[in-house]
Amino acid sequence: MKNFQKACQNIIDNQEAKALNYAVNYAKYGLQVTGKAEARTQALYILNNMTHWRGVVAKETRSLLKTFTK
């Protein structure tokens, strides 16, 4: 869960990026999630809404979320 929360925080910290419009709200909700099943679902929503985000932080965040969903 710690990696999931770190990924959510990365998105919130970079919310000014236009490519993260919808992913920001999913990430904010993701910080409140306590169950693994619900967090996995949120991770999938976030991944689908950050496909155009680029950069080092984006790559790290995407990697954290992908490992969490497996």
pTM: 0.93
Q: How many domains does the chain have?
A: 1
pLDDT at 65: 97
Q: What stretches in the chain show pLDDT beneath 70?
A: none
Domain that holds residue 14: 2-69
pLDDT at 51: 92
pLDDT at 40: 97
pLDDT at 70: 87
| CA distances from residue 23 to 4, 14, 27, 55 in whole angstroms, order as listed | 14, 11, 6, 16
Q: Considering the chain, what is the average pLDDT of its residues?
A: 96
